[in-house]
């Protein structure tokens, strides 16, 4: 193996990646306009991410499914099934949330349609392996943010006691559960280290540009943005956001190390804790399972 070439596939360890059929409800008026702790910018950032998830997750599923027949490791085959099922339910539940956000004035439908078009273009224009590299890289973003949300009480506190909190905690748990699946598929089909790292660089640039531009556009549709005191206060708060800490940036960058693997960041205990907390016998979301 060269340092830039592909790594020999190793047997995939057992991981629990099973699909939970949850259903959340969003009655009219359940959320206040700035549902992230009354904060203008963060409420728009989260709406942009939520609008991006369903078409993004469809893209991930297409990218991984393309290689399903080439996987010979039975454990990985089972995890791919779990991964696809989990992402399908995430997309559906975020679609419901996005309808509620749209009623509140967020341009979630516009963002969804735009991203869908871009990603369908990617399907047509890019080799399957590049799309799988993008997927593995983006899954590192979702897993890193997810594990940070599950670890940092300050991040959880921003979400108050709303259905958005429930959706994000459930989604975060499953993103951490399946964080290595697209990565292991990439490795199993012979994806190189060099391509893994450059696809991550490309997709990082596109993701950051998208989130910044779509958030700016979303905020332009909100009257509160034109209140300079609120705007300046919210932008100042962003600098101390629990989601933009040094640890988060360090964990994101770890992916660019040669021989990195998502399992390098051990999440066993975190997952055990949150599985019990959300879906154990006394779990706060057990009642949402259908």
**CA 188/CA 15 separation, integer angstroms:** 16
With contacts defined by CB under 5 A, name the span among 32-40, 65-73, 87-95, 128-136 that binds Fe ion.
87-95
Q: What does the per-residue mask of binding to Fe ion show for 125-154, with x meaning CB under 5 A?
A: -----------------x------------
Q: Rounded to the nearest 5 degrees, what angle is found at the Cα of 26, between the Cα atoms of 22 and 27? A: 135
With contacts defined by CB under 5 A, name the span among 81-89, 95-103, 124-132, 209-217 that binds Fe ion.
81-89
**CB 143, min distance to Fe ion, A:** 7
Q: Which CB atom, from 87 or from 193, has the smaller least distance to Fe ion?
A: 87
From residue 275, how far is each of 3, 19, 180, 216, 271 by CA, in Å? 37, 13, 18, 36, 6
Q: Rounded to the nearest 5 degrees, what angle is found at the Cα of 171, between the Cα atoms of 168 and 173? A: 110
The residues with which 289 forms a beta bridge, in sequence order, are 22
With contacts defined by CB under 5 A, name the span among 6-14, 69-77, 174-182, 191-199 that binds Fe ion.
174-182
Q: Which CB atom, from 175 or from 222, has the smaller least distance to Fe ion?
A: 175
Q: Which CB atom, from 86 or from 234, has the smaller least distance to Fe ion?
A: 86
Q: Which among 62, 61, 205, 55 has a CA at the least distance from the CA of 115?
A: 55
**CA 165/CA 278 separation, integer angstroms:** 12
| 20 binds Fe ion per the rule CB under 5 A | no
Judged by CB under 5 A, the chain residues 90 through 119 that form the site for Fe ion are: 90
**Tokens 């439908």 appear where?**
109
Q: Which CB atom, from 142 or from 166, has the smaller least distance to Fe ion?
A: 142
**CA 100/CA 103 separation, integer angstroms:** 5
With contacts defined by CB under 5 A, name the span among 84-92, 96-104, 192-200, 201-209 that binds Fe ion.
84-92
List interacting residues with Fe ion (CB under 5 A): 87, 90, 142, 175
């Amino acid at each position: 193996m060269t340092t830039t070439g592909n790594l020999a596939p190793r047997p995939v360890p057992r991981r629990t990646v099973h699909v939970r059929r949850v259903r959340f409800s969003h009655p009219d008026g359940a959320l206040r306009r700035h549902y992230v702790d009354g904060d203008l910018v963060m409420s728009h950032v989260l709406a942009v991410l939520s609008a991006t998830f369903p078409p993004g997750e469809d893209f991930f599923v297409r990218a991984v499914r393309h290689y399903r027949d080439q996987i010979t490791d039975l454990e990985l085959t089972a995890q791919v099934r779990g991964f696809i099922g989990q992402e399908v339910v995430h997309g559906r539940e975020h679609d419901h949330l996005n309808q509620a956000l749209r009623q509140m004035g967020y341009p979630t439908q516009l963002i969804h349609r735009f991203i869908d078009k871009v990603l369908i273009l990617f399907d047509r224009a890019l080799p399957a392996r590049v799309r799988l590299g993008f997927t593995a890289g983006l899954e590192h973003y979702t897993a890193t943010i997810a594990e940070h949300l599950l670890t940092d009480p300050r991040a959880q506190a921003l979400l108050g006691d709303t259905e958005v909190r429930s959706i994000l905690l459930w989604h975060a748990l499953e993103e951490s559960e399946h964080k290595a699946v697209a990565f292991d598929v990439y490795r199993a089909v012979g994806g190189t280290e060099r391509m893994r790292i450059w696809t991550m660089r490309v997709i990082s640039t596109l993701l950051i540009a998208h989130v910044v531009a779509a958030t700016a556009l979303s905020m332009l549709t909100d009257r509160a943005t034109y209140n300079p005191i609120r705007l300046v206060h919210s932008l100042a708060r962003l600098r101390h956001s629990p989601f933009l800490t040094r640890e988060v940036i360090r964990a994101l960058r770890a992916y660019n190390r040669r021989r990195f693997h998502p399992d390098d960041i051990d999440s066993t205990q975190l997952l055990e804790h949150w599985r019990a907390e959300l879906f154990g016998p006394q779990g706060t979301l057990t009642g949402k399972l259908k």
